[in-house]
């Protein structure tokens, strides 16, 4: 705030001077005579050196304090820990204490200022550089391979907060969206319990058979089944998510089917291949995925 006010004040003063000079000293008629030549003034130069130095020192001290308060913050006992891994072009979230793995939609508890329960994020990358940015929850921090980073958020307001990857990471950088759900404590606990249970099995045996007999299982995990790939998002509780393709499409029957049929139709350049399934197989797999709650 101090910074913005100072900057605005400098702008007004210097712009005012410039405007005044241009208007006041404009040559109004053809006047061949030269104005008096002035070569400089030590006092004036000193003044406009010392004053900016003082301004810079003030701004610097203010920002140094904020940097220290953010980067050296202590982790309170109630803090939640999440490991965020950036992939081309989606987000993997692991809650090590809660033994949950999910993707793209991050759920965190609302933090009460009296008893803060901030969320501490460890930021990793599986491939190229990414950056975790949800503007209304905090600044961005990059996810860099071989260079673990961390940041924390302390949300005091419930709701869905939108963000996206903020470091160019390849073809579909633009659709590497992310959603953070800030839930009340009760909602969050309910969500955690749901994520910890295995999905109800056996509801769509045909679709499950097709799913497990194609290359889907090389990249995706559905806990309690043969699918245990790690390259793509964990699908165990796919239906609890509101979006697919890292926020690029709503999680509806039509979009899900289209996404399985031809990912490039939604997100050209995405790393998920079109599997070339026949229409009946496509319907079966879609039906199976829709049982994963």
Displacement of CA 111 from its chain's centroid (Å)? 19
Separation of alpha carbons 270 and 273, rounded Å: 8
Residues 68-107 close enough to bind another protein by CB under 8 A: 68, 70-72, 88
Q: How far is the CB of 271 from another protein (least distance, A)?
A: 11
Looking at the Cβ atoms of 169 and 210, the one nearer to another protein is 169
Q: Which two tokens stand for residue 59?
A: 């701004």
Neighbouring C-beta atoms of residue 211, cutoff 10 Å: 26
Give the strands of the sheet with 177-183, arranged side by side: 105-109, 177-183, 159-164
Provide the terminal-to-terminal Cα distance of the chain, rounded to the nearest Å: 45
Min dist CB 245 to another protein, Å, is: 12
Token reading at 91: 């987000």
CA distance 237 to 162: 21
For residue 73, how many other CB atoms are within 10 A of its CB?
A: 13
Interactions with another protein, residue window 261-290 (CB under 8 A): 268-269
Query: Is residue 25 reached through a cis peptide bond, with omega within 30 degrees of 0 on the bond before it?
Result: no
Least distance to another protein from the beta carbon of 124, Å? 11
Residue among 13 and 186 whose Cβ is closer to another protein: 13
Whichever of 138 and 233 has its CB closer to another protein, that residue is 138
Nearer to another protein, 177 or 287 (CB): 177
Binding mask 10-49 for another protein (x = CB under 8 A): xx--xx-xx--xx--xxx---x--xxxxxxxx--xx--xx
Our finding on whether 195 is near another protein (CB under 8 A) is no
Minimum CB separation of residue 67 from another protein in Å reads 5
Q: 75 or 147, CB closer to another protein?
A: 147
Q: 156 to 175, contacts with another protein by CB under 8 A?
A: 162-175
């Amino acid at each position: 705030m101090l910074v913005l006010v100072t900057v605005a004040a400098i702008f007004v003063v210097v712009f005012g001077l410039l405007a005044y000079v241009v208007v006041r000293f404009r040559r109004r008629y053809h006047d061949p005579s030269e104005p008096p030549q002035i070569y400089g003034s030590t006092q004036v130069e000193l003044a406009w050196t010392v004053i900016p130095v003082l301004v810079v020192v003030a701004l610097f001290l203010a920002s140094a304090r904020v940097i220290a308060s953010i980067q050296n913050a202590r982790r309170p006992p109630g803090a939640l820990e999440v490991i965020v891994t950036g992939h081309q072009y989606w987000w993997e979230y692991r809650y090590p204490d809660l033994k949950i793995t999910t993707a793209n939609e991050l759920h965190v508890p609302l933090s009460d200022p009296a008893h803060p329960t901030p969320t501490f994020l460890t930021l990793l990358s599986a491939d190229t550089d990414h950056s975790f940015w949800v503007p209304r929850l905090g600044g961005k921090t990059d996810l860099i391979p071989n260079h673990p980073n961390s940041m924390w958020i302390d949300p005091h307001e419930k709701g869905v907060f939108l963000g996206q990857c903020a470091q160019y990471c390849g073809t579909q950088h633009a659709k590497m969206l992310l959603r953070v759900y800030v839930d009340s404590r009760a909602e969050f606990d309910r969500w955690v319990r749901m994520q910890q249970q295995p999905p109800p099995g056996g509801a769509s045996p045909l679709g499950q058979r097709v799913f497990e007999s194609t290359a889907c299982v090389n990249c995706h995990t559905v806990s309690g089944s043969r699918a245990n790939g790690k390259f793509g998002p964990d699908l165990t509780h796919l239906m609890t998510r509101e979006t697919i393709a890292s926020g690029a499409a709503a999680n509806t029957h039509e979009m899900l089917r289209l996404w399985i049929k031809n990912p490039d139709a939604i997100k050209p350049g995405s790393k998920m291949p079109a599997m070339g399934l026949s229409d009946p197989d496509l319907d079966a797999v879609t039906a199976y995925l829709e049982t994963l709650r």
